[in-house]
Amino acid sequence: MTEDARHYFTALGEGRYQPTEHVQGAWSPEEQHVAPVIGLLLHTLELNHPREGLQWARLSVDILGFIRREEMTVTTRVLRPGRTIELLEAGVEIGGRAAVRLTAWRLVQGDTAQVAADEEPELPGPDGLEPWAGMSHWGGGFIRSLDFRSVPGARAGRGRTWVRTSVALVGGAEQASALASWVGLLDTANGTAGREAPRDWLYPNVDLTLHLHRIPEGPWVGLDTRVAWGPTGVGQTSSVVHDAQGPVGTVVQALTLRPVT
């Protein structure tokens, strides 16, 4: 295996990152899939603004344009500092143009085990499920780098899927956390339960919002996904996200719907 084949991004220093072949997107061979970019942005926040005693509660991503598969510059800042609540921001520029922006709320940790509860049904775990070829209709190096498992009963607009990767998020002088690597898989949700084939319809998401009530443990990401398409060109992909121990939060994506012409 070559050096390039072991990670999605090479850290070049001073906030610069070089994408490898494994970030290649599903809609165009010249673009990056936004999923690993989201993981990279969280990695840079953890790298540049470490804080003990705080935990990530919401990550909100806006895709500002075509994400070219070229060298990127990532900048970070604290928008709202605080002792128990912080709001941070990370952004990607490619060729001098903003491509992706992430804002993230970080909240104080506390002992609430006595009252911890959720109302989501269990998702059958990945152990015992066969590898799933249902994502083979998507192109790009990123999707090819992933291991998918599907719970039986999937249909258009509804699926329960597990995904993991053996490819590291960052190579070079930096090492990403398990959480950043886990977050870097979430944007696959929209593709796992599409209502129509991508050869007939385009339905890219323009954003992604993750809310967490528990910090997940990898490597598996579980996606209990529903997809709704409206009558005027807008759709929504909504997923309850799991790790092997159970539900950890939700992911929602807004879609722009267009027929292939």
User: What CATH number should be reported for the domain holding residue 59?
Assistant: 2.40.160.210
Kindly state whether residue 212 falls inside one of the protein's structural domains. yes
Q: Are strands 54-63 and 97-108 parallel, antiparallel or unpaired?
A: antiparallel
CA angle 201, 260, 134 (to 5 degrees): 40
- The whole model's pTM is what? 0.96
Give the residue-averaged pLDDT of 17-30. 93
Average pLDDT, the chain: 95
Give the residue-averaged pLDDT of 240-244. 98
pLDDT higher than 90, residue 123: yes
Kindly state whether residue 199 falls inside one of the protein's structural domains. yes
Kindly state whether residue 121 falls inside one of the protein's structural domains. no
User: What confidence tier does 189 reach under pLDDT thresholds 50, 70, 90?
Assistant: very high
Kindly state whether residue 202 falls inside one of the protein's structural domains. yes
* Full DSSP string of the chain: --GGGGEEEEEEETTEEEE-GGGB-SS-TTBB-HHHHHHHHHHHHHHHS--TTEEEEEEEEEE-S--BSS-EEEEEEEEE--SSEEEEEEEEEETTEEEEEEEEEEEE----GGG----PPP---STTPPB--TTTTS-SHHHHTEEEEE-TT-BTTEEEEEEEESSEEEESS----HHHHHHTTGGGHHHHT-SS-TTTEE--BSEEEEEESS---SS-EEEEEEEEE-TTSEEEEEEEEEETTEEEEEEEEEEE-EE--
User: What confidence tier does 139 reach under pLDDT thresholds 50, 70, 90?
Assistant: confident
Q: What residues make up the domain containing 11?
A: 3-108+126-259
Residues in a beta bridge with 148: 163
Kindly state whether residue 249 falls inside one of the protein's structural domains. yes
Identify which of 178, 160, 159 has the alpha carbon closest to the alpha carbon of residue 169: 178
Kindly state whether residue 49 falls inside one of the protein's structural domains. yes
Give the residue-averaged pLDDT of 182-191. 97
pLDDT higher than 60, residue 4: no
For residues 3 and 32, which has the higher predicted lDDT (pLDDT)? 32
The reported pLDDT for the residue numbered 27 is 83
Chain centroid to Cα 188, Å, comes to 7
pLDDT higher than 60, residue 62: yes
Number of domains the chain contains: 1
pLDDT higher than 70, residue 120: yes
The reported pLDDT for the residue numbered 5 is 57
pLDDT higher than 50, residue 250: yes
The reported pLDDT for the residue numbered 235 is 98
pLDDT higher than 50, residue 188: yes
Kindly state whether residue 237 falls inside one of the protein's structural domains. yes
The reported pLDDT for the residue numbered 105 is 98
Kindly state whether residue 8 falls inside one of the protein's structural domains. yes
